[in-house]
Structure 1
Amino acid sequence: MAQHWTEIVPGDRYAVAMNGMLHDYDRKILTLLYQPLIGPTCLSLYMTLWAEVEDNRLWSTSSSHHSLMNFMGIRLKDIYEARQKLEGIGLLKAFVKNTEEGRAFIYQLHPPLTPEQFFLDGMLNIYLYKKVGKNQYSRLKRFFSDQSQSAQTGYEEITSSFQDVYSSGHNSPNDYIEDLQTDENEQFIGRGEPQAIQINPAAFNFELLEAGLSESLVPKKALTKKVKEAISNLAFLYDIDAIQMKNIVISAVNEDDEIAIDELRKSARDWYQFQHQDQLPSLLDRKQPLQHLSAKSKPQTQEEQLLYYLDTTSPRQLLKDISGGAEPSSGDLKIIEDVMFQQRLLPGVVNVLIQYVLLRTDMKLTKSYVEKISSHWARKKIQTSVAAMTLAKKEHKQYLEWAEGKKANKKPAAKKKTVRTELLPDWFDESKSETTETVDKSKGNEQELSLKMQEFQEMMKKRNGGGSSE
């Protein structure tokens, strides 16, 4: 993950371009439908860039990012992160050009989806429902809808057609033909078409899906481009792999041997809710947010490389890497999902938690143990991987007692011990500073634990192309 200062500096210039006119109604859509998903900082950035463009214009004047920082009262890395979120959700496109004076950016604002497009999107509406809840979601639907004209019965249309009202003259156009032509370097001011979120179909294994589908049940011609796009979105939304998607696709085939997209969405939603106790997915940051990264420079040492990996890898991918590429079990994913949703721990912190628990419990994720530690970290407001490691070292004795099912009867003062400052690979190796009783009980695990850690680091080296030498 690139650091913001390598991508943008306060002196870089930018101009705002509009992909069509935005209207006041768009403000309501952005505020009520998009803001719960992207947050107030992203909305503020979008509104600020919009305000820089004068009415009935498509371009703003050039300005510096330093001015934008002063306008919004936030740091440059917050602007960079908000910009990326706007890009990801389809509200902004960014372009850059290197000049002699430095980098110049164009930020092209795109209109939001219409309420109809949003509520029928199949992804954004699911995330919104999960975010705001049933009652608020129903209120928003009522706010952005009204009675259909078709509900008014008994009326007959009497509208006149064009040819009924107008006739056409046939004068020679030679005198004004040049005036009718448009300049190729100009464009008319109008309304741009909003673009729905589309996950890259290349991210889904369609070859494996097609190999598992019988031609008699699902003809290959049924997998149209539109269907494949829907499958890609649903696979991302509900975290469905090609094997699991097979039955979902089969259930959506209609009597015409076509795949009904509405039925496909319903089947995928039903599958997810069955797997997750009637819950719906939430929209989360894929990796550790920039402001909470622990590695502040290009990783050089083995410890820095591991920190960087934990910060820039999703918890699901971490579990997959630890398992040698095997897909994590649904039970393990459910434990991690609950931690991220209920305790609101960031991905980098969850990765430290996963590694700590696996290395201390013989590579098993025990739900009660994970929840106990995660709730402790949530109360401590842990937001970085380094802070998670430090607290794990400090409370190591307590965590061991939890793992062994013991109750700590000692006073809090007796639990204090020196906090070591070194990072991984031995950040969790705190048993040497514990009492003699704990040392005796855990001594037999140290050699095995050290070997597991070495295996984990070797795996990270291979994954990162051999790593860098210290």
Structure 2
Amino acid sequence: MAQHWQEILPIDRYIVAADGLLHEYDRKVLTFLYQPLIGSTCLSLYMTLWAELEENKLWSDSSTHHLLMNLLGLNLKDIYEARLKLEGIGLLKTFVKIDEEGDRSFIYELLPPLTPEQFFLDGMLNIFLYRKIGKKHFARLKRFFSDQQMTKDKEYQDVTKAFQDVFASATPGSLQYLQDVTEDLEAEQNQQFIGRNEQKPLQIDTNTFDFDLLAAGLNESLVPKKALTPKVKNVISNLAFLYNINPIEMKNFILGAINPNEEIDIEDLRKGARDWYQFVHYDKLPSLINRTQPVIHQVQVTEPKTPEEKLIRYYETTSPLTVFKDISGGVEPSNANLDILEEIMIKYKLPPGVVNVLIEVVMIKSDMKFTKAFVDSIASHWARKQVKTVKEAMELAKKDERIRKESKKTAKSTKGTNKKPLRTELLPEWFDKEKPKKSEKVEKSPDLEAKKREIEEMLKALDD
């Protein structure tokens, strides 16, 4: 992932655009439905960009990012991170132009949020919101954004008049009149009518799912290819992302969602995937977390040169799942391992880069085992220390190792034993290992010296 200073500078200018009019009601949707998922900083950025648009206008005047920093009271890293989240959740499109002199200018196009109905029936965002705020508050928001349906008594009759019953069209004497005003009826060149474009639900790229492998498995089960319509494929891609389902597992859910017409019932497919996930994860639902270390917490901003700097960059730009697989030699983590990874990122709120350091420390120090007790002990400690960056995690791990060694050394001195440890504990390469001294004098024990003198005197007496 590119660093923020490579993508944006305070002197870069930007213009705010809107993909249709934004309504006052959108503020409630953004505040109550989107804010729990993206945070207050993202909402503040969206609202500030929105405020730059004049009433009933689709374009704003040009401004600099320095002004935006002052308005929000945020640094450029925070703004860039918030912008990426708005883009990812479908509330913002960003366009950039670089002129001949290398100056950049941006267009930030605000997209309207989903309607409450779209959001609560989304199948992905509603799941993340449910997990974030809980059942009680989720139900409260559903009541807030809904109302009782209006019921009409059967005794009421519809007496509404149709358009043609009320109005008539007078035929002009010549078609020339209509031809003369055609251009007047259309929008002028390079202009558009102000309106409202409804937002489309979030959609995971279908290329991220192996449909060829899925189709091969379905052919064996005599499921027709026509059942995999574009709409069904979109739902499958979203479910695979949401619940981390592979093509082999997805085949079973599809077989359970086939109706007598050899069509895939989307609601049954969603329910089957959700029920399976909750069964495996003890009635829990997935949470929305960052895939990689947030830019705001990345410290390796220059091109890495040393091995440690390269390792920091790797941890900052790689997901924990990938790091786990790399350390394990490509072996996929078990469901229990995935549960532990998810828990430490949600329960302890550790950023992905910090989790990557934790994975290596645990795996190497525990002979490639990823046990919950050991992970919890480190994760809870780092959470209390408010570790946010990869560098902080590595330094704390080194410090803990030095303290452990010193405690072990002190314990040996107290016991007065010279026994060597039975096993040398493995450590990550980036730990500061103490270099062995070339020559080291062993302190002689007084008891040992006395015993030696006694033996020498006995030998001398024998010689006499």
TM range (shorter): 0.7 to 0.9
The unaligned stretches of length 5 or more in structure 1 are 401-413, 416-430, 454-470
Counterpart of 2:167? 166
| TM-superposition CA deviations, 1:83-137 (whole Å, max 9, x none) | 1000000000000001246101000000000000000000100010011111100
Deviation at 1:372, TM superposition (A): 1.0
Whether 1:441 and 2:421 are equivalent positions in the alignment is yes
Deviation at 1:157, TM superposition (A): 2.0
Q: Check conservation: 1:217, 1:250, Cα contact below 8 A.
A: no
Counterpart of 2:181? 176
Aligned residue type for 2:281 = H
CA distance in 1, matches of 2:404, 2:134: 35
Alignment: residue pair count = 423
SS of the residue aligned with 2:421? helix
CA distance in 2, matches of 1:6, 1:442: 51
Correspondence for 2:320 among 315, 332, 335 = 315
Q: Which runs of structure 2 are paired with 1:89-104 in the superposition (5 Å)?
A: 89-100=89-100, 102-104=103-105
Q: Check conservation: 2:360, 2:428, Cα contact below 8 A.
A: no
Counterpart of 1:126? 127
Deviation at 1:218, TM superposition (A): 2.0
CA distance in 2, matches of 1:346, 1:41: 17
The unaligned stretches of length 5 or more in structure 2 are 432-464
Identify if the C-alpha distance between structure 1 residues 233 and 216 changes in structure 2 by more than 3 Å, giving closer, same or farther.
Answer: same
Counterpart of 2:258? 253
Identify if the C-alpha distance between structure 1 residues 160 and 438 changes in structure 2 by more than 3 Å, giving closer, same or farther.
Answer: farther
Q: Which runs of structure 2 are paired with 1:79-228 in the superposition (5 Å)?
A: 79-100=79-100, 102-150=103-151, 154-171=155-172, 172=175, 173-214=178-219, 216-228=221-233
Counterpart of 1:411? none
Identify if the C-alpha distance between structure 1 residues 215 and 363 changes in structure 2 by more than 3 Å, giving closer, same or farther.
Answer: closer
| TM-superposition CA deviations, 1:24-50 (whole Å, max 9, x none) | 100000001000001000000000000
Aligned residue type for 1:79 = I
Deviates more, 1:383-392 or 1:175-184: 175-184
| TM-superposition CA deviations, 1:166-186 (whole Å, max 9, x none) | 111221313323312333411
TM-score scaled by length of structure 1: 0.85
Deviates more, 1:210-219 or 1:300-309: 210-219
Deviates more, 1:75-84 or 1:158-167: 158-167
Deviation at 1:312, TM superposition (A): 1.1
Q: Which runs of structure 2 are paired with 1:325-340 in the superposition (5 Å)?
A: 325-340=330-345
Deviation at 1:347, TM superposition (A): 0.7
SS of the residue aligned with 2:420? helix
Counterpart of 1:421? none
Identify if the C-alpha distance between structure 1 residues 270 and 75 changes in structure 2 by more than 3 Å, giving closer, same or farther.
Answer: same
CA distance in 2, matches of 1:35, 1:385: 27
Deviation at 1:248, TM superposition (A): 1.2
Deviation at 1:438, TM superposition (A): 11
Deviation at 1:193, TM superposition (A): 1.8
Q: Which runs of structure 2 are paired with 1:365-380 in the superposition (5 Å)?
A: 365-380=370-385
Aligned residue type for 2:40 = P
| RMSD of Structure 2 on Structure 1 (CA) | 2.3
Correspondence for 1:279 among 284, 292, 309 = 284
| TM-superposition CA deviations, 1:330-376 (whole Å, max 9, x none) | 11111111111111111111111110011111111011111111111
Q: Check conservation: 1:373, 1:399, Cα contact below 8 A.
A: no
SS of the residue aligned with 2:368? coil
Counterpart of 1:386? 391
Deviates more, 1:92-101 or 1:356-365: 92-101
Aligned residue type for 1:60 = S
Identify if the C-alpha distance between structure 1 residues 368 and 154 changes in structure 2 by more than 3 Å, giving closer, same or farther.
Answer: farther
Deviation at 1:162, TM superposition (A): 1.2
Aligned residue type for 2:237 = S
CA distance in 2, matches of 1:451, 1:99: 46
SS of the residue aligned with 2:322? helix
Whether 1:298 and 2:303 are equivalent positions in the alignment is yes
CA distance in 2, matches of 1:399, 1:345: 23
Correspondence for 2:248 among 235, 239, 243 = 243
Counterpart of 1:10? 10
Q: Check conservation: 2:315, 2:356, Cα contact below 8 A.
A: yes
Aligned residue type for 1:357 = V
CA distance in 2, matches of 1:68, 1:438: 65
CA distance in 2, matches of 1:225, 1:432: 65
Deviates more, 1:211-220 or 1:62-71: 211-220
Counterpart of 2:350? 345
| Runs of 4+ with >6 A deviation | 397-400, 431-434, 436-439, 450-453
Deviation at 1:311, TM superposition (A): 1.2
| TM-superposition CA deviations, 1:222-276 (whole Å, max 9, x none) | 0111111101011111111112111111111111111111111111111110111
SS of the residue aligned with 1:105? strand
CA distance in 2, matches of 1:262, 1:12: 47
Counterpart of 1:58? 58
CA distance in 1, matches of 2:331, 2:226: 31
